[in-house]
Amino acid sequence: MAQNTSKMTGGSTAPFAGFEWMIAWRYLRAKRAEGGVSVMTWISLIGITLAVAALIITLAVRSGFRYEFVDTILGANAHITVYDAGRVSDTGTFARVISDFDAKAARLAEAPGVIRAAPLVKGQVMASSSSRNAGVEVFGIRAEDFNQIRRVIDPEEGYGDINRFSEGIAIGAGVAQELGVVPGDRIRLISPNGTKTAFGTSPRVVAYEVVYVFRVGRFDIDRTRVYMPFAQAQEYFNREGLADEIEVILDDPEDIEDATARIQQVAGDGTIIWTWRDSSGAFLRALDLEDNVMFLILSVLVLIASMNIVSGLIMLVKNKGRDIGILRTMGLSEGSILRVFFICGASVGVIGTVFGMILGCLFAIYIDQIFAVVNYLAGGGVWEPERWLISKLPARLELGDVLSAISLSLFLSFVVTIFPARRAARMNPVEALRYE
């Protein structure tokens, strides 16, 4: 003790010296009967832990949503779609079809940043099997182009024989479930724009074998999409020698503005360009708005949890008034007193932040298992894919999000600790000892 006293009275000391940490530690672990505030310390610690964990979980789910949406958009859809501006035919009907689709696709494939360009035939029809019906959208595409659609040909999610695509059709898992079919079964596709006869247009009904079932993970794709060989789709939709559009896949989909200008220049006049941001921009803007609002709300939650540290420190300063007076008379400076109580409050913030980081990261990593238990206990219905357009709740831990949560928590914890610590440092030792 004499050694510690000599250190405290021996003139100026280095900031955050060992005796300052020792005093702060004794105050933190003191029981209430000894003038400590252990209950408030535990409340502050738990509050910071839960607030940081909630912030990390929210940021992880936010990042997971964005990644899942963008990945399914980019992995199962064209990054840029090229349409013909359209023209009026000799019969007076308006048609938006591409006649020189192979030549135009070849030119687009040579453009900088383009991985591939493929012509498509598209149409909406009714799919039927036994007594079940479902409205679907048919994509007519060549086998070599179909085999490059990353999310569709995922072997872990799809089943069937993808190599037999030229012999039948590939359907989404939602379509297969709705119609009650599996690979090897046959379904009928019914188009109202069929064969023209003397008595009017007769609907076209053709049966196709299901050779492959894919699962992209987005409800609006799995539940509606059907892929058909390009030549068969041309025949089925009366598009002999024509294509409805050309889909373009880029090596950097995020660089969509520059790519659009290059594609427009190559495609030439009389074409319309439609990008993945045009089709999904509303989703992304909604996510951005929700991200900012949720981060702001949870930041307030972290601030409220940090304010518990202020309450605990104010009580600690009040209970330790006699100790502060004695330490000041022994030679401790105002700076040393300030640092002692700053260490008390900041330590609670640091420990709570670390525990919150661990809890939040573990929750985000095992969120599927946690939601499976919650869904089981709730009797189902917790997660509705048709409402959220993705098949499961995504969570994606990113270092930037975790560091943002940690930085915010530490910053608020350190800032709010300064005010009660300064109050303790400015306490008059004479007033503190007058009634002792």
Indicate the average pLDDT of the chain.
82
Q: Do the Cβ atoms of 48 and 305 come closer than 8 Å? A: yes
**What burial class does residue 400 get, using C-beta atoms within 10 Å of its C-beta: 0-12 exposed, 13-18 middle, 19+ buried?**
exposed
pLDDT at site 424: 75
The Cα–Cα gap between 210 and 97 comes to: 28
The Cα–Cα gap between 16 and 68 comes to: 47
Q: Give 168-208 as a 3 state SS string.
A: CEEEEHHHHHHHCCCCCCEEEEEEEEEEEECCEEEEEEEEE
pLDDT at site 432: 54
For 232-273, the pLDDT digits (tens) are 999 999 888 999 999 999 998 888 888 898 999 898 888 899
Long-range contacts of 145-148 (CB under 8 A, 24+ apart): 145/116, 145/118, 146/170, 146/227, 148/116, 148/249
Percent of the chain with pLDDT over 70: 84
Both structure tokens of 322 = 């006699």
Q: Does residue 136 surpass a pLDDT of 90?
A: yes
The Cα–Cα gap between 38 and 324 comes to: 19
pLDDT at site 433: 59
Q: Does residue 10 surpass a pLDDT of 50?
A: no
Q: Does residue 26 surpass a pLDDT of 80?
A: no
Partners of residue 195 on adjacent β-strands? 202
pLDDT at site 358: 96
Place of tokens 């045009």: 278
The Cα–Cα gap between 410 and 79 comes to: 41
Q: Residue 69: what are its φ and ψ, rounded to 5°?
A: -60, -50
pLDDT at site 177: 92
Number of other CB atoms surrounding residue 22 within 10 Å: 13
Q: Does residue 188 surpass a pLDDT of 50?
A: yes
CA distances to 6, 337, 344, 364, 426 from 9, in Å: 5, 13, 22, 51, 18
* N-terminal to C-terminal alpha carbon distance within the chain: 23
For 308-337, the pLDDT digits (tens) are 888 777 777 777 667 677 776 776 777 777
Q: What pTM did the predictor assign? A: 0.69
For 277-307, the pLDDT digits (tens) are 888 878 788 878 888 888 888 888 888 888 8
Kindly state the DSSP code that residue 10 receives in the 8-state scheme.
S
Q: Does residue 178 surpass a pLDDT of 50?
A: yes
Residue ranges covered by each domain of the chain: 2-69+284-433, 80-252
Q: Does residue 5 surpass a pLDDT of 50?
A: no
The Cα–Cα gap between 311 and 34 comes to: 18
| Nearest partner of 334 among 4, 20, 18, judged by Cα | 20
Segment among 74-88, 325-339, 349-363 with least mean pLDDT: 325-339
Greater model confidence, 417 or 121? 121
The confidence band for 425, taking pLDDT boundaries of 50, 70 and 90, is confident
Q: Residue 373: what are its φ and ψ, rounded to 5°?
A: -65, -45
pLDDT at site 428: 65
Greater model confidence, 156 or 416? 416
Both structure tokens of 109 = 């494939």
Both structure tokens of 31 = 């029981």
Q: Residue 413: what are its φ and ψ, rounded to 5°?
A: -65, -40
Place of tokens 């059907």: 226
Q: Does residue 41 surpass a pLDDT of 90?
A: no
Percent of the chain with pLDDT over 90: 35
Greater model confidence, 124 or 313? 124
Partners of residue 271 on adjacent β-strands? 84
pLDDT at site 373: 82
pLDDT at site 352: 92
Average pLDDT over residues 205-217: 92
Give the length of the chain.
436
pLDDT at site 268: 84
For 105-114, the pLDDT digits (tens) are 999 999 999 9
Partners of residue 89 on adjacent β-strands? none
Average pLDDT over residues 415-432: 75
Average pLDDT over residues 168-185: 94
